[in-house]
Structure 1
Amino acid sequence: MNVGSNILNNFLHENLTDLKAKGLYNTIEPMESANGPIISIGGKKLINLSSNNYLGLATDSRLVDAAINAIQTYGVGAGAVRTINGTLDLHVKLEEKLAAFKHTEAAIAYQSGFNCNMAAISAVMDKDDAILSDELNHASIIDGCRLSKAKIIPFKHADIEDLRAKAKAAKESGLYKKIMVITDGVFSMDGDIAKLPEIVEVAREFDLITYVDDAHGSGVTGKGAGTVKHFGLSDQIDFQIGTLSKAIGVIGGYVAGRKELIDWLKVRSRPFLFSTALTPGDVAAATKAIEILMSSTELHDKLWENGNYLKRGLKSLGFNIGDSETPITPCVIGDEQLTQEFSKKLYQEGVYAKAIVFPTVARGTGRVRNMPTAAHTTDILDQALAIYEKVGKEMGILQ
């Protein structure tokens, strides 16, 4: 039964039909299990290669215990925004741990990684400024830049000469009070790492503010401390953005940097000022995860071992895995409908690996993105590789 606006109903029907016809419509399958290496969907057990739970911490008993203890002491919710009485001593402890983890003076926690980019960019940049943004930056960076009302100047992906030319033009134009350069640390669709040393050189040359969103690098690169630490640049990047919902295994995000920057974000970033604080259980679990990563590289090392194993296996079968430099391993299929069909057949055979198509990636570059974790065993990965080979040959993707 149609209700409400006919204009809206027609818009929705026409556009949803178009997306489905082009293989761009994404279906969501709810899980009936924890998000581990093996998951259950619709009563079917599947090898899970789509999770961002890189280190397996989302199901780690140490985090579970920390969350339960915090809930029993503090309740299930913080009860207010941070600036009223929603700041618990747990939040302070988490932020101190994050600053130590990222090798900065201070840090501030937010409700999500997306919120970090909405908060931090617009708190510092405005209509009198310009932002140089890698063309493959995450959607949250793009939206954060738009919210700031600064002039957005995209540069070609990982192209330092293009960045330098555009930084020079922006600086010499005299039109902008401040200029920022923003990049992901690890690009989530291709798994490549930003050229941070070269970006820092350009930033020094033209006095640019530096901003790195390391959502897919924190816990993964730099022996766990992230891409900035990987390059030894902790004292040369103004904004280090991270998430608590990928390798850390919980939910939330953070900005790490100089103390004055964090003080400014506490009084001027809107998601901090106008959203209820992270819940006690989440904060305690995230803190425990940071402590684990600071005390041992065991999970980090296992993640890379599994990532390299899967890469070698898929490449030897003949799949196009792109130029990933991290455990993120795309199988680039190309055509959107073929990619969707490939993912569907993997699912039928027992592997959950979601199709990634436009607008998340460029048209004609559809891929299944594989995310091995520290929790996978070699036996599980071997089973997945056998299924990839079977489906790839049946569909004519492999010869």
Structure 2
Amino acid sequence: MTRIVVVGAGLAGAAAAWRLAQRGHDVTVLERTVPANEHGSSHGSARIFRYAYQDRFYVDLVVDAARGWTELMQAHGSELITPTGAVDYGDIRNPEGLATVLAEAGVEHELLTAGEARRRWDFAFDTDVLWQPGAGVIDAEQSVRAMLAQARHHGATVWENRLVTQVAKAASGYRVLTASGEVFDAEQVVVAAGGWLPDLLSDLALPSAFTNAFPALEVSQEYAYHFPYREPMLAWPTFIHKTKEIQVYGLPGGRDAENRGQKVAEYNGGKRISSAAQHEQIVDPANRKRVIEYVKRYHPALVPEPYAETTCLFTNTPNEDFIVDRIEGIVLLSPCSGHGAKFAPLIGEFAAELVGGGNVPSRFRASARANR
């Protein structure tokens, strides 16, 4: 049994705690406030689960992650992903290319003309449309709670309001220090700090060769808006629409939107901040106006007046690949760039593999660059 401290209880940290405890490790989770809090990237009830990627590598990972979601939902006893299906379209989304990749991976899909798609959904489609019936909406907050419940079931301890300020080397492995002066000893540490990772990275007792090779993380404060359906109980899919003018995604808002509206956001339309510590939770009026104009143009079945709005954090790597790596006794998890939620159970498995001395996909490992 290995003593592990997991720093952070968002989707990545909760998944790591679940998978590590499931394998018999002695796991302690330290969360700076409360799990899935509104200041991080794992709050609320609406994240997209989809298979469509231009890169077969990620499609295969979604297939693997789906098995983990099924396992979690069976253990938890309730639905964490609401099936809605998804549509992808737009002149730079390349639905035809997406369909080719999904066909190679054996994922169910359908390629529709814009006219065929308009007869199914009241969207102003401007290109052919990829339909994925297996897509849906992840309840992020409930998923975090479900994974932590499974972690506790297997013996893990979860501490709230424990702000980690430093991870130092010690005779037994590592000593994790908190702002309140508490000390937690561990043989290995898993860091899943989300948008706080840029602030914490220099305090993790990491070799300089590794930190020098670590990709530059760009944290952004993003904005999302809930638009009411003109008619109640419409069966809306999730959507990703990418054009040369704007890139937008949307999904049924679920509990966050009182189940009466669609969550719509401009992809990477927010402002850049140095870390989650600068998250102001104030919506940019120019972005709100831009998204409202988009809804007016492309979504006649929505009332173009948001009745709720929110901010969230993206932590972006330069190429949008994740960071899942181990250096000495520290595992770093940053399944980010706005598309990591769907992979949570698999990220937990990767963390457990690294703790046990196993491997993960090389493109996720910053240490590979340090060793060149």
The TM-score bracket by the shorter chain reads under 0.3
TM-score by length of 1: 0.25
Greater per-residue strand proportion: 2
More helix per residue: 1
